[in-house]
Amino acid sequence: MAETPVTPIAVIGMGCRLPGGIDSPAAFWQALLRRDDLVTKVPLDRWDADEYYDPEPGVPGRSVSKWGAFLDDVAGFDADFFGYGEREAPSIDPQHRLLLETSWEALEHAGLAPADISGSSTGVFLGMTHNDYQMVAAEADALDGAYGFAGTNFSLASGRVAYALGVHGPALTVDSACSSGLLAIHMACRSLHESESDLALAGGASLLLDPKKMVAGSAQGMLSPTGRCHAFDIGADGFV
């Protein structure tokens, strides 16, 4: 039986936000060359790490880890640029905001303007798994506002990007835990191979904004008490 030929896929543009102030693929490459360690203590603009920290495993409401890799200024967003008013913008999950900005930057990196792909069969495939902003909004009694549901719904992340760019291909958000972004890329490749999409944007976002999941992960014994993954090493004691 003859094999179906697979057309190679070209990656023509990228955009990113990563820990350590990295805001471009070039900056990420330089960090790799320098072998930068981007793991830090939980910054105060997320939560008070010391309040939730206890080196003793199993302490209720506490975590054996107070470390992670965190983005700077996750609240920053050029709402006017994307057409969001002052009432709606604060309700939008910062993960949605990051995906909007980096999708736009990926097009610029590719030498394309949104007008070049507006109306085209461009697909948007995104991966997300953390809904911390929903918890933050609920605690602030903001979830039942006019934009509470749309602002924190995973499906709206891909919809926002598709709407902002005016594209008409598939727009979907997937959740497969840690592999969500990779699954989104897989689905984008399938869509291109099957000629469902002429062009595709694929990626993901992951932000920890509330200590509850870190506390829960610690209770399950998932987190490293040393703040290091030690991948493939006999000293591995959890992840960060």
Determine the Cα–Cα distance for residues 161 and 13; give it in Å rounded to an integer: 16
Encode pLDDT of 129-150 as tens digits.
Answer: 999 999 999 998 888 888 988 9
Alpha helix segments (H runs only) across 79-122 = 94-109, 114-117
Encode pLDDT of 156-165 as tens digits.
Answer: 999 999 999 9
Structural domains of the chain sorted by starting position, each given as residue range(s) with its CATH number in brackets:
25-219 (3.40.47.10)
Q: What is the mean pLDDT of residues 180-206?
A: 97
Determine the Cα–Cα distance for residues 59 and 226; give it in Å rounded to an integer: 17
Q: Between 37 and 7, where is the model more confident?
A: 37
What pLDDT score was predicted for residue 1?
A: 62
The pair of structure tokens assigned to 33 is: 């060359």
Q: Name beta bridge partners: 204.
A: 127
E strand segments, 55-99: 67-68
Q: What is the pTM of this model?
A: 0.94
Encode pLDDT of 84-121 as tens digits.
Answer: 999 999 999 999 999 999 999 999 999 999 999 999 99
